[in-house]
């Protein structure tokens, strides 16, 4: 995955060649360092390294931090040596991967920290950057979160339109079980009546869409009283301001689209110093 994503990114950026790098003497060597300008959870070291490797395998990178480490503003992340042209050509793609995946890991960690002391887990969604889904889902785990289904082929999530097309919750659940696809089956409900129907239909994983705190408490109570309990997942309208209260209701999981789609790239700077 890393090699193919980096290859594609470099092809997009370099194309027929780095014209500006030609202004630097071909044999000029240089040193460089990457500095982070804000608090962050570092993620994407393999992608960063691969960018330089594919451009010039002779570039040496000495990391001063590890994957998943929490860093402080103005901290040096790594030192590098190599041909100046190679460092300059690889710089943007390498930083793009590192700043994006670190942003995902950092946002995930904020949500995970916010529910500390509860039994709930933070999950991602499919709301990811195109062509970076697996990378972002990896970054979520680096930040302490967990992965929902990877893609449409990786599980069944029954939503209101599926229910409407099938005729009822019980019917759509029967059809889902009949597939016998050996994948997770989750159904989304929008009110307590639908929750009761889903439980009676044998649902083992239920997504509670845009439930208020009071409704989440009642949903957990209903689930605990059911003959067979389901995994309850809260989703919709959940932010850092209220996620702890949501977790305290007793739900098992909380899915947050924002940890992959509403991210701000971590502020990184690569400083190059030519060797004299």
Nearest to 237 by CA among 221, 223, 257, 260: 257
Query: Which among 244, 197, 242, 241 is positioned nearest to 222, based on CA atoms?
Result: 197
**Active site annotation includes 229:** no
Catalytic residue among 159, 229, 248, 261: 159
267 is catalytic: no
Catalytic residue among 18, 188, 197, 233: 188
Calpha distance 241→239 (Å, rounded): 5
Active site residue 261: no
Count CB-CB contacts under 10 A for residue 115.
18
CA contacts within 13 A on the Cβ side of 68: 7
Q: Is 221 a catalytic residue?
A: no
Q: Which of 148, 203, 196 is nearest to 173 (CA)?
A: 203
Which one is catalytic: 33, 53, 70, 92? 92
Residue 159 a catalytic site member: yes
Burial class (CB in 10 A: 0-12, 13-18, 19+), 255: buried
DSSP conformational letter for 263: -
- Report the DSSP beta bridge partners of residue 268: 36
The catalytic position among 127, 229, 248, 261 is 127
Catalytic residue chosen out of the listed positions 200, 209, 245, 267: 209
CB 268 within 8 A of CB 138: no
DSSP string, 186-251: EEEESSHHHHHHHHHTT-SEEEEET--HHHHHHHHHHHHHSSS--EEEEESS--TTTHHHHHHTT-
Q: Known catalytic residues? A: 92, 127, 159, 188, 209
């Amino acid at each position: 995955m890393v090699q193919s994503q980096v290859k594609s990114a470099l092809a997009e950026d370099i194309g027929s060649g780095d014209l500006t790098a030609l202004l630097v003497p071909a044999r000029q060597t240089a040193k460089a360092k990457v500095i982070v300008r804000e608090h962050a959870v570092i993620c994407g070291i393999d992608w960063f390294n691969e960018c330089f490797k594919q451009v010039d395998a002779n570039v040496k990178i000495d990391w001063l931090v590890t994957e998943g480490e929490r860093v402080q503003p103005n901290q040096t992340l790594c030192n590098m040596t190599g041909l100046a042209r190679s460092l300059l050509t690889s710089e943007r793609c390498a930083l793009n991967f590192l700043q994006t995946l670190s942003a995902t890991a950092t946002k995930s960690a904020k949500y995970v920290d916010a529910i500390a002391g509860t039994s709930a887990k933070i999950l991602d969604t499919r709301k990811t950057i195109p062509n970076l889904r697996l990378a972002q889902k990896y970054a979520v785990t680096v930040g302490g979160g967990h992965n929902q289904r990877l893609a449409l082929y990786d599980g069944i999530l029954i939503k209101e339109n599926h229910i409407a097309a099938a005729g009822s919750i019980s019917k759509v659940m029967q059809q889902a079980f009949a597939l016998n696809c050996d994948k997770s089956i989750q159904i989304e409900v929008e009110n307590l009546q639908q929750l009761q129907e889903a439980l009676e239909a044998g649902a083992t994983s239920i997504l509670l869409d845009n439930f208020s705190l009071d409704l989440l408490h009642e949903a957990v109570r209903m689930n605990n009283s059911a003959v067979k309990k389901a995994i309850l997942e809260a989703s919709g309208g959940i932010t850092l301001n209220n996620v702890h209260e949501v977790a305290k209701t007793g739900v098992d999981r909380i899915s947050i689209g924002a940890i992959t789609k509403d991210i701000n790239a971590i502020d990184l700077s690569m400083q190059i110093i030519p060797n004299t």
